[in-house]
Amino acid sequence: MSGKDKSRRAFLKGAAAGAGAVAANAVVPAAPANAAEPMPMNMPAPEQHGAFFNADDAAAVAAFAERIFPGAPGMPGATDADVLNYIDLALAGAYSDLQEFYRHGLNQLDAHSRAVYGRPFARLDANQQDEVLTALEAGRAPDFAWPSARAFFETIRTHTIEGMFADPVYGGNRDFAGWKLIGFPGAQPFFTKPEIQSRDEFTRAPITGVQTQASKPKRRT
């Protein structure tokens, strides 16, 4: 894992640990930050592959999330935590108001990637994907109109963190990957006195979400 990846992971882990865990129902505005930006007409929905995404969009979001929170040996990343499943289910449910935002943003993401590298985002190598994300974060992607490049980047970054650290019942944080990463114990029926007094890492499995693992929602394939 590169130094850039380590720095990114450390920042996101620190942000999540400081909050205890990221709320699963965080609200991200669908409207452009700049009111002068044009709101597009509704686009026809492509043939679905998951709960919301088609296969191409799913590949792009999975690659985007993995570059936001990359995995490494012994350290789970967005793919390990099934962040794609979290975002896919959210867009088919609680975040349905962001469907057009994602459709347009993903179309623009591939347009920018093709303009710069000749290939869609999901087919770029990791360094090229990082360069695209850097351009989006800085607002230096001329192929973006609505949503703006910065708004699109910030939204997927927020949803990636949610998918890493929210309760697994919402479709991400598979096998408590994110909680284990930051040492978050989740809900517990009780803590013993030695556990409360100990400075060692808490190792008992979280309770929240365990009962629902067998029946938690999954993307359609």
pLDDT value, residue 35? 32
Tokens of 221: 């394939």
Q: 187 or 86: whose pLDDT is higher?
A: 86
Cα pseudo-dihedral 13, 19, 21, 25, rounded to 10:
-120
pLDDT value, residue 39? 38
Q: 14 or 87: whose pLDDT is higher?
A: 87
Q: Identify each DSSP E strand in the chain by its residue range.
A: none
Q: 86 or 29: whose pLDDT is higher?
A: 86
Residue 171, pLDDT above cutoff 50: yes
Closest Cα partner for 120 from 52, 80, 61, 71?
61
Long-range contacts, stretch 37-46, CB < 8 angstroms, 24+ apart: 37/145, 37/146, 37/148, 38/145, 38/146, 39/146, 40/100, 40/104, 40/146, 42/100, 43/100, 43/103, 43/104, 45/99, 45/103, 46/103
